[in-house]
Amino acid sequence: MDGQRWRERAGSFGAAADVYDRSRPTYPVEAVRWALPEQAHRVLDLGAGTGKLTTVLLDLGLDVVAVEPSEQMRARIPARAEVLEGTAEAIPLPDGSVDAVLVGQAFHWFDPEPALAEIVRVLRPGGTIGLLWNVMDDSTAWVREVTALFGAEDLVSHMDGRPPFGGNGALGEPVHDEFEHGQSLDRDLLVDLVASRSVLTSLPEDERLEVLAQVRELAPDDEPFELPYVTDAWRSVRS
């Protein structure tokens, strides 16, 4: 992704930062621990958004740097972290300054080649890159119906086991794991969750409202209900 497209991405999510923050799921602590090297201390959350992953890292007692291009998103990251403006292609940190770089729900927005070069640059030898995606489990009927409304592709049925990165000699073979979890929602939060997705924020207002009305109709009757997820996790060690 070039600089202009990254700024457009930041703006599209930034405009919905409040909705994003209250509706998006967190990450299971087991997945986060799995992505980290032993004795990790200083960790970069790259493309940190509103700090969902940052919060988990902080709660593990880590020293966290959160890098995010959107001002609206950065404003919601916990103040316990060091929060910096920046992008994956130009990380504002010195060489070898972090033990791990974790990316939650964001690597697909990066320009892979320059982003991986920057990640390798800021990682210490033996440090890890960990990529996490919360993927909705569409083996549940109502989840299939809801996600079909907006053409979601980040679904368990679409997971193919292919590594999301490669081609950098400083990174070892990517290792994969999956972690099941769930998010407790009511209808309003489910509507907010769908509204926070980039495909919805880019729709004309009348189309967006129509999709959200259909989401509300398809939500389970009993509240709260659980939206099932699998966290799709990838890890590689820097040589």
142-155 pLDDT per residue, tens: 999 999 998 888 89
What digits encode the pLDDT tens for the residues 79-103? 999 999 999 999 999 999 999 999 9
* Model confidence band, residue 15 (pLDDT cutoffs 50, 70, 90): low
**Domain locations along the chain:** 3-137+154-182+229-237
Write the class of the CATH domain 3-137+154-182+229-237.
alpha beta
- Give the residue among 155, 154, 105 at the shortest CA–CA distance from 132: 105
Other Cβ atoms less than 10 A from the Cβ of 18: the count is: 13
Beta bridge partners, 100, equal: 43, 128
Bond into 28 cis (ω within 30): no
pLDDT at 9 over 70: no
Of all residues in the chain, what percent carry a pLDDT higher than 90? 81
Average pLDDT over residues 113-133: 97
| pLDDT given for residue 201 in this prediction | 81
Of all residues in the chain, what percent carry a pLDDT higher than 70? 93
What amino acid is encoded at 52 in this protein? K
* pTM score, whole prediction: 0.91
C-alpha radius of gyration, the chain, whole number = 18
